[in-house]
Structure 1
Amino acid sequence: MVVGEGKITLKSCYDRVESIESIYTGGKVVLSKAEDILCTASNEDINVIDTKTGKVKAQLKGDTESVTTFSIKPDGKHLVSASRSLQMTIWDMNTFKVTRSFKAHNAPVIVMDIDVTSTLVATGSADSSVNVWDITGGFCTHSLKGHSGVVTAVRFHPDMKAPRLVSGGDDGSIRIWNLNTRKCEAVLESHSSPVRGLDFTPDGRYLISAGRDSVIHIWDIRIKKLVRTIPVYEPLETVGVLKPDTKLFDSNESKDEHRLVLFSGGSQGIIRLWDFDTGKEIFKQTKEPNSKHACLDVLYAEESQQLVLITTDQNILFYDITNKFQKTRQIAGYNEEITDIKYIGPNKQHVIVATNSEQLRLYNLDNHNCELIYGHSDIILSLDVHELDNNTSLFVSGSKDNTAKVWLVDWKSKSNTRAICVAEAIGHTEAVGAVSLSCKTGCNFLVTGSQDRTVKVWDLSNAAKTQENAKMLKSPKKLIARYTTKAHDKDINSLTIAPNDKVFATGSQDKTAKLWSVSDGQFLGTFQGHRRGIWSVTFSPFDQILATTSGDKTIKLWSLNDFSCIKTLEGHTSSVLSSAFVTSGMQILSVGGDGLVKLWNIKDEECVLTLDEHEDKIWSLSVAGDGENFVTGGADSAIIVWKDTTEDNISRLHKEQADNILKEQALSNYLQAKDYRKAISLAISLDQPHRLLGIFMELINNPTNQNKEQDTDVSAQKLTRGELDSVLGSPDIDTVVKSLAPSHLTKLLGYVRNWNTNVKFSRVAQSVLYCILSSKSSEALLTIPEARELIVALSSYSKRHYVRVDRLLTESFIVDFTLQSMDNLGSVSEESQQ
């Protein structure tokens, strides 16, 4: 941060400004009818997410047992949830507080549905029963029994004039319940495995059911008969019906207003569409390469005409039905362990993230939209980014599938699939754990390091020529290695290319870092001194210095001229996993296995700031600019964005200092004018107990409202009996003390405790205590932080000091503060002193 010509201010303060954390750990997901909120299960809690911003609006705290299912009323006013504790809870969605909680079944509730009137909720349980509840009243209206196993699906009929409920079980049977007669009207038996999906056509005439027996059945509700079976050849988890007027793919045949279309999702992890009348497949999504997820559920957003796919790898994908199923939004519910993270894009509004999975995640930090990038077949370990221009970025990823892939991101594209694999490096025999792109304009080469202990330098010049026509590529271009060098005796954990593109450094588990020539791979020297493996290597952008971080809990700075260690920074309590230079190379940021972020001044080797927001080890950090912002990611699945607030902090301190100077002057003026009323409040605000003591001593020794000829003993006796008009020498001053805010009162009690330890000041201390206790009830004092401890400490001295507070303490304070008598107080004090 430059504050003047030639002057650089060292950073000293960073604040957490944004975070992306796990919001969905599997299970139920519900979209409100208004489509303004999305609710997801997160272990025992439920996250309420704003669909516009992608941020968590509220978290409904559970009862320590995992959530099994939940549903939102169509009017959006309440959410009903159930957990493994057998409790069913009703939440107010305006205040996000519990309105009612009760036991629902004798076994966990598995499925739930709310009727169109937002009045009733149906629950299907593992105890084979179906119950219907009045949501407002919280009582059971129907208890329906007949299933022989777990109830796996429930659905209200859309026409509640003749209320009916349909339920499906893991025995393959479907039961139709008449809620007026409380009896089962029919049992539909055709499925041979658990029924997972139930839905009705808009007119309520037909029931559509799907199960894990890989078929969709269509039933006529009026005659209770099966009218059509559609084989789908995959176990299904859900089925539904689109609105009749839905326009599909802008095709003429799909514009028939009377045509009904079904959607399904199952083990293939894709959405498929079916013609209701013919049973033919209308559309089938193309499965992403190397994707292994299955479908948990498909939500139908009628207003926006979208289908929302919920996958087994905790991703939530939005597709536009009317626009060839283009992906409009992606939400990554759970990031697993974050292995690497890098800023990307011209405005640093995005980060590319590698997690403990095969997919890359391109996050928009503004709205938390996440583009999933498929291509690797195993876990991704390392990343690097190069900005080609304001509209295009290049990045590389290294994976356990023994390859490195080069990706092009077109920021002008409005598609939600902007990253295209343009090249891949195949040649390593083990996992690629470190990658680095050349720094200069054009990005002509790539360096990769592997667990096979070799380093390869790859030519990117031909790949760069295809960047403009990347979208026309049928398959990624195969890169050619310029040379291969055996670099270390153990796994290579990190490598980085110098800003001038002439040399690169590698760090390994063999406890050494090495320097190499880019042009021919010539070995230039070894940086030796760490006692454990090296996790990262980083070049200073301004000096001939290399920083290394190690499992020995230290950061070492090395000279590139003679390979000597210049400085060692110690302070982390676990392995230091990554580092980055900031503030023109004068400071360094580091992250470690202790979950801490540390900021160091290189000149004096001092740690000036420690940030503790992560709950587990931090594997990676990435810096934007010269350290104005940085982002961290680690094993706790959290991505945290930090902002340099040093300038704001300095401005705040300057303002506080200026305010204190003005207050000091005002206090002096009040004391000179003997305006003690204002002086007392100001002295407490400025935390000046000595000047406050002087004010009280002046008032007590020179009272303005008492007979000055009375000796001290007489005044003390009257004070004890409560006969004086003023305790502190002036009624106005008494009023000031009695009306102090809780924070100021706590401060004052602390001062009084210290004064009370000195016999010379004990009279003042006990007078102030008397004034406080005589004006505050025990209940009021107990609400003040630290008041209990302070008053007990003060009272323990009253027996041997001048003014007694026996009369007050023998009332309700004896009970509230567990003080039996003044003698007991004295013994407590003696024990505490011993």
Structure 2
Amino acid sequence: MEGKNCFRTRWTQEPIFSGGALASLALPVSDPAASSALSTSAAPEECLVMACGDTVNVVRATSGEVLCRYTLPVEDVILHIDAVTVPKASDDGGKDATSGDEGEARAKRDASAAEKSATTKKAPKKKAGAGKTVKPIEEDEENAGQAEKKVAVPSVAASSSDAAASQGDRELAAPAGSYVAVGTRSLQVYVLRVDARVESPASPSPSPSAEKGVAADAASEKGNAAGAEGDDADVVGAATASGTLVQYSIELQRNWTAAQHAISVVHFSQSGTYLVSGATDGSVRVWNVFHHHLTHNLVCAHSSLVQSVCLDPSEAYLAVGSFEGHVTVFDFVAKRIVAAGRPHVQAVESMIFNDALTHVYSIARDRRLALNKMMFSENRKSTELKEVRAIAVKEHVSSAAFESAGLLHVGAMDGVVSTYRVSEDEAVQLVRRLPKPPSADAEDGAEEAFVRSLLVAGVPKGTNMRRLRDSVVQDAPHAPDTSSLYVGDAGFSIQHLCPSSAECSQYEVTRTVVGFLDQLLDVKLFPEASPLHRAVVTNSKDVRLYASDGCVSSKTLRGHSDVVLCCAVSSNGAWIATGAKDKEVRVWSTESCETVVRGVGGHTAEVTSLSFNGRQTDTYLLLFSVSSDENVRMWDIGVPLAERVSAKQPRSRVEEIQHRSGVNAAHTGPIYTVAVAPNDQYVATGGKDKSVNVWNITGKKMYREASLKGHRRGISSLAFSPVDRVLASASNDGSVRLWSLVSLTCLKSMQVDRTSVLQVGFFNNGTQIVTSNAEGVLRVWAIASSESVWAAEAHTEKIWALAVEERPSSGETIFYSGAADGVLIATEDYTAEEVARVKEDRHQMILQEQALSNALRKGEFSEAFMLALRLSHPRHLRQVLVRWCAKDARQCENTLRGELLPALDAEQMTRLLQYTREWITNSRHCTVATLVLYVLISSRHFEAVAQVPSMASLIEPLLAYTRKHSQRQHDLLRRTYYIDYVIRGLAPNVLTSLPPFVHHGEGRREEPPLAKRMRVE
């Protein structure tokens, strides 16, 4: 069907990760009542939380799908993030999750600390209690540089019952849900809430441009809600395997200024009650976010940047690590330093307390693992942090994470990831290691391999809280044999590491979430039967293979020593050819992701384009390559590949071959593109010399057939028609030309502007072509009419990569476009779906119009009113009201007031008011409009009317025209008085003997007193 012009974005792969910390959440997907809180009936799945510039992204860990995102309301840079999932409290007869021995111990510990604090400060005598010093967040924003003003909170006596202690914990506990904390460079801390709402398949799914988020938590204030209206909060729907639709949303709970310098660290407690923020000036503050209070204002012994913090699960001690190697331990209840020292000379990456809370383990970038003892456990007056043991690790530490007190994960600057078993008295044992990637050996590849962050997979913060609170604590959340990690590197990718099935002492990469694509240079698609979906070439030495939509890469091709510029996929999907700036042509196996054939000596400059022949067999497989050296090469790779498959040679062996045929100086400048005809008869090349050269293939030899000239600038892309002997060429002069391979002449030239056209491709049985240009515009052309039938500004930069996928099984047509802006967009053709929808809508409209006519004929005005409103027929709706009023105005008014208008939703009410606005502009229809306005105002409260969407834009013309018609009617009424005067004045004179002062027909007038007296006399 020619003239397709209905296209839409199917999915988008955008930058989602720009380095920095990683966090995880547990979001339920099966229980509608669970909402965003983790309950026993819900089926949670792990989702990653990451930052990209000023945007927070929540990504499904398994598929890489972006569930929701939030962009900061002001231009800023996110420095650190953390997340926590707060489960719902158990409904077991009033017992909260925090109860038992630990709740009692916490109450006693708080009471003891309060007594000590009152004694040391010589404060007035007060009852001993577990009250904590709190400070409103708003007060701290106004007095950030002043001393903390303490407000006493009613305390709980040390001898209070367990029920009272549990009640106090419930009041301070965070509300159930999933939360994300963000620290920024502009001194701000943002707290966001992530919601997952399960909907039935029958309910309509809102579009990404629909309402932004679910209603905020009751604790959030109106001011914060108003401030978040302009924020860029996205809502994404995802369908589960059962068919239910899950709507994910993220919204701002509150934000505030947390320090006088940039926020370098944010850290949620395991319970989610407290949020610790550290700044670049060394200040540490603890907030009760959900009750809007500053609970701790801690001062470290140093003024160095806060690099890391650690709060033990029982919330007894807080450890702070600095950029200069200091470690400071605070009593979290008494809010004082209990131990401090400098066991390192570089940034402290991670810390953890042992189970007995007597030692602090720390590891820093100086490659030292320090086991420090807090000496106050032996001497209460001592604040020394004594180093009892120091161990040097092999890796150059760039990131580290303690999974437990006995298990340490270390990421190195060269991409190595190691897991160690740590003990206080035994030697450190290496459990597992991820070997150094090959790209780390190169000088410019070591930077991308740099490990920026580590996150233990499968244990989102807060999900194991109930076990901790119920004192059922395991030695380690994961056994060393089953630990898996998420590793974020400097190349903005997140790798999921699992123990290798072949070698238990090594990690293997199961999947990679590609957070940033840089510039996309080429995209090639695999056949529909292949397990892989596409190969993506970015501005790097690696080629990533994707098995599905989204940003999860299943395989990576590594081997080139310079940036890869192009690739090609064989028709069976078994082989991939790549060309790079290192002048090499490589052929890879999609099964092993290893190089099987390497072409040497073919080119002396960068390889710019590749293409396989169309009719491929096991032994007949040709590869054509062009380069900036002006040469065209043909590689016969069918024979070596067939020998490799039949002989089953070792995978480590790489076959080196020479080109079978070629043409030197095929163009008078760099060659940019090459294409092969579907019947393998012709090969076309184009380059900077503005000409298209057509080559004939005979017996694996190349002969010049013709040189097609007509473009005014260089040729950027070529494509053969799949059904006709036609060649399409795209040029930097902004035109697309169609050439006949029979007459070797130009058939048509299509051009809209002078913007360079970079890619071209046929689809829809060769009746249409799609092009991309240097301004990020995708354009679809109808060949028969030589007109552009659809265009969209899909990207903001040059579109270097374009691939067309036509699926015969489903009849789908999808464009994959990649640009220099680092975005890959899949655009689908939904013309058939749109045609079916239009037909169905037209059919339903005809039925409803017939029902409207029947209702009017039968006098069923209520039903006719609703049908006309649903059909969006203002003329029919006005006629219904006119006929109804003519028949029984009182019934019309009462029915509208009592039944119809109160039942309208916001959208229908807005539509009715829009029609009323149009009616009231015409004096002939103003009576109907005033009737609707009168009934509306009398049937609804003015506050409900004010909440109607777009009411502000509707009320002004309604008021203006109402005044105008009212004035017109009053003027008309006054003019009718003149008619009465004229009618009286036109009455004929009557002959009478009465004096002139007597009105005819009204009797005699009373005589004046003087006349009456004279008559009597």
TM-score by length of 2: 0.68
Question: 2:861–2:880: 8 Å Cα contact kept in structure 1?
Answer: yes
Q: 1:470 to 1:334 in 2, by over 3 A?
A: farther
CA distance in 2, matches of 1:436, 1:696: 69
Aligned to 1:175: 328
CA positional deviation for 1:133 = 3.0
Deviations 1:140-195, CA, capped at 9 Å, x for gaps? 324132113212222234564xx222222222222233334433333333423222
Deviations 1:214-271, CA, capped at 9 Å, x for gaps? 3333334458433443334553123344569xxxxxxxxxxxxxxx554311211111
Q: 1:191 to 1:641 in 2, by over 3 A?
A: same
Deviations 1:577-633, CA, capped at 9 Å, x for gaps? 222211211122222333333332211223333344444433222222366333222
Deviates more, 1:149-158 or 1:282-291: 282-291
Aligned to 2:211: none
Q: 1:261 to 1:756 in 2, by over 3 A?
A: closer
Deviates more, 1:185-194 or 1:23-32: 185-194
CA distance in 1, matches of 2:537, 2:350: 35
Aligned to 1:652: 837
Aligned partner (choices 303, 313, 337) of residue 519 of structure 2: 337
Question: 1:451–1:491: 8 Å Cα contact kept in structure 2?
Answer: yes
Q: What are the equivalent positions in structure 2 for 1:192-341 lying under 5 Å apart? A: 192-201=345-354, 206-221=359-374, 224-232=385-393, 234-241=395-402, 262-274=408-420, 276=422, 277-279=426-428, 283-291=432-440, 292=445, 293-301=449-457, 302-303=477-478, 305-321=483-499, 323=501, 324-341=506-523
Give the counterpart letter for 1:420 in structure 2. Answer: E
Aligned to 2:168: none
Deviates more, 1:471-480 or 1:577-586: 471-480
Give the counterpart letter for 1:527 in structure 2. Answer: L
Q: 1:771 to 1:550 in 2, by over 3 A?
A: farther
Aligned to 1:619: 800
Aligned partner (choices 51, 66, 83) of residue 72 of structure 1: 83
Aligned partner (choices 647, 650, 655) of residue 477 of structure 1: 655
Pairing 1:186–2:325 present: no
Deviations 1:691-724, CA, capped at 9 Å, x for gaps? 4454455555xx3347xxxxxxxxxxxxxxxxxx
Long gaps (5+) in structure 2: 27-43, 88-177, 196-213, 215-249, 379-384, 458-476, 972-1017
TM-score by length of 1: 0.82
Q: 1:615 to 1:783 in 2, by over 3 A?
A: farther
CA positional deviation for 1:278 = 3.0
CA distance in 1, matches of 2:82, 2:452: 16
Question: 2:588–2:594: 8 Å Cα contact kept in structure 1?
Answer: yes
CA distance in 2, matches of 1:652, 1:80: 44
CA distance in 1, matches of 2:254, 2:689: 60
Pairing 1:401–2:582 present: yes
Q: What are the equivalent positions in structure 2 for 1:348-747 lying under 5 Å apart? A: 350-366=533-549, 368-370=551-553, 371-388=555-572, 393-410=574-591, 418-426=592-600, 427-442=602-617, 444-465=621-642, 467-468=644-645, 472-482=650-660, 483-518=662-697, 519-571=700-752, 574-625=755-806, 628-698=813-883, 703-705=886-888, 725=890, 731-732=894-895, 738=901, 741-747=905-911
CA distance in 1, matches of 2:935, 2:968: 12
RMSD: 3.3
- Secondary structure at 2:641's aligned position in 1? helix
Question: 2:513–2:552: 8 Å Cα contact kept in structure 1?
Answer: yes
- Secondary structure at 1:704's aligned position in 2? helix
Deviations 1:80-123, CA, capped at 9 Å, x for gaps? 22112212233334464333433222112212334444443333
Aligned to 2:72: 62
CA distance in 2, matches of 1:204, 1:322: 34
CA distance in 1, matches of 2:741, 2:182: 61
Q: 1:420 to 1:345 in 2, by over 3 A?
A: farther
CA positional deviation for 1:792 = 3.5
CA distance in 2, matches of 1:746, 1:118: 43
Q: What are the equivalent positions in structure 2 for 1:130-169 lying under 5 Å apart? A: 130-137=284-291, 138-157=293-312, 160=315, 163-169=316-322
Give the counterpart letter for 2:301 in structure 1. Answer: G
Give the counterpart letter for 1:57 in structure 2. Answer: L
CA positional deviation for 1:500 = 1.4
- Secondary structure at 2:842's aligned position in 1? helix
CA positional deviation for 1:51 = 1.9
- Secondary structure at 2:437's aligned position in 1? coil
CA distance in 2, matches of 1:688, 1:93: 41
**Per residue, is there more helix in 1 or in 2?**
2
CA positional deviation for 1:354 = 0.8
Give the counterpart letter for 1:317 in structure 2. Answer: Q
CA positional deviation for 1:516 = 1.5
Question: 1:199–1:240: 8 Å Cα contact kept in structure 2?
Answer: no
CA distance in 2, matches of 1:26, 1:805: 71
CA positional deviation for 1:423 = 1.9
Q: 1:649 to 1:769 in 2, by over 3 A?
A: same
CA distance in 2, matches of 1:114, 1:787: 43
CA distance in 1, matches of 2:512, 2:355: 29
CA positional deviation for 1:672 = 2.9
CA distance in 2, matches of 1:553, 1:227: 72
Question: 1:376–1:401: 8 Å Cα contact kept in structure 2?
Answer: yes
CA positional deviation for 1:542 = 0.4
Deviates more, 1:470-479 or 1:797-806: 797-806
- Secondary structure at 1:290's aligned position in 2? helix
CA distance in 1, matches of 2:565, 2:455: 33
Q: 1:35 to 1:263 in 2, by over 3 A?
A: farther
Max Rg structure: 2
Greater relative contact order structure (CA < 8 Å, 6+ sep) = 2
- Secondary structure at 2:853's aligned position in 1? helix
CA positional deviation for 1:431 = 1.9
Long gaps (5+) in structure 1: 1-7, 245-259, 411-417, 707-724, 808-834
Aligned residues: 751
CA distance in 1, matches of 2:913, 2:407: 74
Deviations 1:697-753, CA, capped at 9 Å, x for gaps? 5555xx3347xxxxxxxxxxxxxxxxxx57xx7644676874555544544555555
- Secondary structure at 1:148's aligned position in 2? coil
CA distance in 1, matches of 2:643, 2:372: 55
Question: 1:23–1:334: 8 Å Cα contact kept in structure 2?
Answer: yes
Question: 1:158–1:200: 8 Å Cα contact kept in structure 2?
Answer: no
CA positional deviation for 1:40 = 0.7
Aligned to 2:185: 84
- Secondary structure at 1:521's aligned position in 2? strand
Question: 1:798–1:804: 8 Å Cα contact kept in structure 2?
Answer: no
CA positional deviation for 1:66 = 1.6
Aligned to 2:22: 29
Identity among equivalent positions (%) equals 26
